[in-house]
Chain A
């Protein structure tokens, strides 16, 4: 079965870059049948979809407008994983971050979640 394993720091200083990685087992980041997403959850924002990467003969990305100027999601085919980078973070970016697989825009597999706190 598909498993997603997240890794990355739980504490980031304001104005710095948040970086997380999601390792995939049981599927391929290059599959034509799914997309690979980052979603976050906080008490103030609830569940918020951030963006995704997917392969359909070439690589594509979709990003939420709220973070579009600060976010990059990249696949790593050599390690079968994908990553999130969120630049210029503020305390409002404090949240639990999840990676998730979607098939037809429905999230059927999720990572375990990573609490990221933005604080000096």
Chain B
């Protein structure tokens, strides 16, 4: 099975910072990648699908890029509500594996 990794595992940032999270697939998955945000005690929420398409209602400060094996989630001008854990997920075929997550916390 294709494995998903993320880096860093955690990042400390301040309001207004730009944050970049990387996701890597062990084999190429074209642009079949999604990003999710999860806050404690809540279900994950879809942010980005097809590597770079913004899900409805998601603020434009979130953006995604990449294809093949290397992908990036960028948060421009970090807001207080963005402190959370972020997961990538392969969407090319099942099993739909998730990355281990990147926690964004307050510096």
Contact = CB atoms under 8 A, between A and B. Distances in A.
Report the contact-size class of chain B (Cβ under 8 Å from the partner): 20 to 34
Interface residues of A, number: 21
A50 to B, nearest CB: 9
A47 B46 contact: no
A111 B1 CA distance: 27
B71 to A, nearest CB: 14
A65 B100 CA distance: 19
Given A49-B94, A64-B95, A107 B44 contact: yes
B98 A47 contact: yes
A82 interface: no
A19 interface: no
A43 B23 CA distance: 20
A58 interface: no
Interface of B: 1, 32, 34, 36, 42-46, 49-50, 55, 87, 89, 91-98, 100-101
